[in-house]
Amino acid sequence: MFDGNRHLLVEVPWVNNHRYFLDLMSMMDYSLCVSFSETFCITAADAVVCGVPLICSKEIPWASNFSIVDTTDSDEIVERMSALRGIKASLAQHFNRVGLFKYAEKSKRLWLNYLKGKNA
């Protein structure tokens, strides 16, 4: 996917220290979390917190439409990387932050209600 275009994939060994991971992530141009099944994706949430443009699958329910790509379409993924610059990246980041916040608040309410025995 990275051959023949201006984007460079940099692979980094596994990092056990979350603070170091966030520092490393904050230097990235994009975070690609294009999964078939991962629904929350803490890495995607970390990218949003670090202000890194997110490109992901529809499996992440809180992600904005600016970030969502077809999981099997490598051309669309590369095109979205090129498109998420400047104002579009800022808009995507804003909507992803809002989506993540709302998702977290809803999840918190659901868990608190469950723990209180309300189950709704």
More confident residue, 4 or 53: 53
Residues 6+ positions from 111 with CB-CB distance below 8 Å: none
Q: What are phi and psi of 110, to 5 degrees?
A: -60, -45
Per-residue pLDDT of 73-99, as tens digits, reads: 999 999 999 899 888 889 999 999 999
Count of other CB atoms within 10 angstroms of residue 50? 18
What's the pTM? 0.84
Indicate whether 120 pLDDT > 70. no
Question: Domain map of the chain by residue range?
Answer: 18-115
More confident residue, 103 or 3: 103
